[in-house]
Chain A
Amino acid sequence: MKLLLKGGFVVDPVRESIEKQDLLVEGGKITGLAPKISIEDAEVFNVTGCYVCPGFIDLHCHLREPGEEHKETIATGTRAAAKGGFTAVVCMGNTNPPADNRAVIEFIKKRAAETGVVPVYPVGCATKGRKGEEISEIGDLAEAGAVALSDDGSSVMNSEVYRRVLEYSKMFDLFVISHCEDSNLSADGVINEGLVSTILGLKGIPCAAEEVHVARDIILVELTGARLHIAHVSSGGSIRYIKEAKERGLRVTAEVTPHHLCLTEELVKDFDTNAKVNPPLRTREDVEALRQALKEGVIDVIATDHAPHSREEKEVEFDYAPFGISGLETAVPLLWDKLVHPGVLTPVELVQKLALNPARILGLPERVLAVGKEAAITVIAPDLQKTVDVSSFVSLGKNSPLDGWTLRGWPVLTVVAGKPVMVDSDYFAGQERR
């Protein structure tokens, strides 16, 4: 199978350049990259005006399989990823049973090979049963193919246990993903603690619940020399701890979600459970601080924290609804519309946050489009305008507060191992007529 992507702007996140080039894919690899490529027997995509990017990697999602297949499966979740422009995903281990042992990691990999459409990198649990009490069999998890360790969904509250997780992980060169939340400070909280929680009478989650653990975990990195990745930073106050850790050369990286970059607590004012997410949507000031930190490189990665839930689970009283936003299918358009179009991030910077840096953290080959590289490609039509319609989500999780939002800048083609796994045929049909 040969694919020819004609007329696009090819984004190179390493050289930080964009060049108008044709791109040829053959046998799963990139075989041609030149201003003009003509070939007879290739499937041609007219990507004029589009950004042709190295394939995006979602460093943080929940695929729910095994155990909660009514929320999502590896089959639906990876298709949602492909539709959203992601060519690989890292899935968290808070499944049922949790991925705290070799069998679950192997199951996820097997299901991904059988039913998935993009590569799936599983995260193993840091502690047994995600209870935060005893470290899990990390050696076994590493051997089975876990790419990182995390009890994501909750923090390891016991600092001694977490210290041991960090120390032990070093032996296998696994990095640890920290869900920074002091569960005593956040107990019973459902939204950001602030004016909105005061008005609505909902229990707030203070930014301090996150910051206390960001600071603690950085201190423990200093103690252990382990490699730590801080998940879903939501508080502007967390930034200075991360910044200082990086300045001192600690092996700390951080991610932020599209919703924490683009949405605020005001979305929950009408008690919309689809905007109930953990960490909670914060204030405009936090959004500004997170954007700044992203721009400055204090935050390395944008990851979706895709957390699908069934309609039934979300259509309940606000206090009773589970946390989470179904984010894979809206991440790219939301980011493009709210960050790239207004000039907050350049296309190159966005590609660094969505492709280059996640790959580096995972230890994958450098994510650039070059001859000889594996063909994982995300193509974005920057001026394509569409309205988010959750009922058309491929993900089983329709829980998005963006339903009905019109966004500009959508993925139109996703290529994995040289094969198109998502083609916006309406878009390309339109291109041909033009």
Chain B
Amino acid sequence: MSSLRGWAKRFFCGILKGENGMRFKRKDILGLQELSAEEIKLILDTAAPMKEILKREIKKLPTLRGRSVVTLFYEPSTRTRNSFELAAKYMGADTVNVTVATSSVQKGENLKDTAKTIQMMGIDVIVIRHSAAGAPHMLARMVEARVINAGDGAHEHPTQALLDMFTIREKKGDFKGLQVAILGDITHSRVARSNIWGLTKMGAEVRVVGPATLMPPYISELGVKVFYRCEEALEGVDVINVLRIQRERQRKGLFPSIREYSRLFGLNEARLRYAKPDVLVLHPGPVNRGVEISPQVQDGPHSAINEQVTNGVAVRMALLYLLLSGGESGEITS
């Protein structure tokens, strides 16, 4: 197990500091596991001015003019895809969408062939969403284009975690000592995993809470505290990140009913009172209204769920900027 703890450390720090700025050396954004605290900070710092641009009337930058971004979605997700597409467009890049329903994916073309095709099209960035963990990693090995993981199975969803963290930092200032509870189906949640990596690296204390049948083994090895009772887990927390509960998990027998889940783990106003008075409530969306979170909490004063959507665009703009600007020729012009 000891070598596993050192696993994340094996990745080199991807930032070189220079006189004129920083150099973000990564080819791809595959997960928060391999990002250093310094890299995460740079991404969040870069997202702040991006958010300012989103408030403008004219949200169009020339920064990535002539660059192309393809969104390759093997799982339906209008929300994330739109967020990436807007981010790319605001940055001036051209975008192409490849979704399961309209692509050759359904006709039996495998990821390897798709990768080859995209490679030949001269695409600069591939944003991939896939139900199989590791698919973005496989793609990244096969193409020269930069790859951004927009969610792979239950593995990682780095951009979601970064936007969650951006929202948290905006509201709370700093991560040090912050108590964050992640509530719901931890086993199947890539959002939970990416948040755990990111938040613990930035110095937050993370608790996970959910049914024992949806809690992955050895999760505490990642430096989180495990709870099975909502009230205990929420005691004194600064942030609650509520995960979406998927009904198919119930059909697979992992919890008895939506009703019981909601009764034991649904975030309502009564449970919210266990947290700090200024608690921040997040949800990656789309929300099952009244299941994992009550409408009162979802639309209440603690919720930043709508703002997360805006922040998602800003964070994705920052990532595109960091991946596509700099680093090509290495030559500095005056």
Q: How distant is the Cα of A309 from the Cα of B154 in the complex, in angstroms?
A: 26
Q: How distant is the Cα of A271 from the Cα of B134 in the complex, in angstroms?
A: 6
Q: Which residues of A contact B132 (CB under 8 A)?
A: 317-320
Binary CB contact string for chain B from 18 to 56 against chain A (1 if under 8 A, 0 otherwise): 000000000000000100000000000000000000000
Stretch at the interface among B171-179, B213-221, B258-266: B213-221
B3 contacts A by Cβ under 8 Å: yes
Q: How distant is the Cα of A432 from the Cα of B99 in the complex, in angstroms?
A: 63
Q: Which residues of B contact A330 (CB under 8 A)?
A: none
Of chain A, the residue at the smallest CB distance from B192 is: A201
B190 contacts A by Cβ under 8 Å: yes
**CB–CB A195/B133 < 8 A:** no
A364 contacts B by Cβ under 8 Å: no
**CB–CB B112/A315 < 8 A:** yes
Q: How distant is the Cα of A318 from the Cα of B3 in the complex, in angstroms?
A: 23
Determine which residue in B1, B131, B188 has the highest number of CB atoms from chain A within 10 A of its CB, and name it: B1
A197 contacts B by Cβ under 8 Å: yes
Q: Which residues of A contact B3 (CB under 8 A)?
A: 266
**CB–CB A201/B1 < 8 A:** no
**CB–CB A271/B133 < 8 A:** yes
**CB–CB B153/A201 < 8 A:** yes
**CB–CB B112/A318 < 8 A:** no
Q: Which residues of B contact A201 (CB under 8 A)?
A: 133, 152-156, 188, 190, 193
**CB–CB A317/B1 < 8 A:** no
**CB–CB B217/A193 < 8 A:** yes
> With A200-B155, A202-B153 given, is the CB distance from A319 to B217 under 8 Å?
no
Q: How distant is the Cα of A266 from the Cα of B133 in the complex, in angstroms?
A: 16
B137 contacts A by Cβ under 8 Å: yes
Interface size (B, Cβ < 8 Å)?
A: 30
Q: Which of B1, B130, B131, B133 contacts A200 (CB 8 A)?
A: B133
B111 contacts A by Cβ under 8 Å: yes
Q: Which of B4, B134, B218 contacts A317 (CB 8 A)?
A: B134
Of chain B, the residue at the smallest CB distance from A196 is: B4
Chain A interface size range: 20 to 34
B58 → chain A closest CB, angstroms: 40
Of chain A, the residue at the smallest CB distance from B111 is: A317
Q: How distant is the Cα of A318 from the Cα of B155 in the complex, in angstroms?
A: 12
Q: Which residues of A contact B101 (CB under 8 A)?
A: none
**CB–CB B217/A199 < 8 A:** no
**CB–CB B156/A271 < 8 A:** no
B135 contacts A by Cβ under 8 Å: yes
Of chain A, the residue at the smallest CB distance from B130 is: A317
Q: How distant is the Cα of A196 from the Cα of B155 in the complex, in angstroms?
A: 11
**CB–CB A316/B133 < 8 A:** no
Of chain B, the residue at the smallest CB distance from A264 is: B3
**CB–CB A194/B218 < 8 A:** yes
A7 contacts B by Cβ under 8 Å: no
**CB–CB A270/B137 < 8 A:** yes
Of chain B, the residue at the smallest CB distance from A319 is: B132
A311 → chain B closest CB, angstroms: 10
Q: Which residues of A contact B110 (CB under 8 A)?
A: 316
B7 contacts A by Cβ under 8 Å: yes
Binary CB contact string for chain B from 115 to 150 against chain A (1 if under 8 A, 0 otherwise): 000000000000000111111011000000000000
> Which residues of chain A from 179 to 197 have a CB within 8 Å of any chain B CB?
193-197
4 tightest CB-CB pairs across the interface, nearest first? A201-B154, A271-B134, A201-B155, A317-B132
A contact residues vs B (CB 8 Å cutoff): 193-202, 204, 266, 269-271, 283-284, 315-320
Residue pairs across A and B with Cβ atoms less than 8 A apart, 15 shown, are: A194-B218, A195-B1, A195-B4, A198-B216, A198-B217, A198-B222, A199-B193, A201-B155, A201-B156, A202-B154, A202-B155, A283-B1, A317-B134, A318-B135, A319-B153
- Having A199-B33, A316-B112, A319-B153, one finds 19 other A-B pairs with CB under 8 Å, namely A194-B217, A194-B218, A195-B1, A195-B217, A198-B219, A198-B222, A199-B193, A199-B222, A201-B153, A202-B133, A202-B153, A202-B154, A204-B217, A266-B3, A271-B134, A284-B1, A315-B112, A317-B130, A319-B132
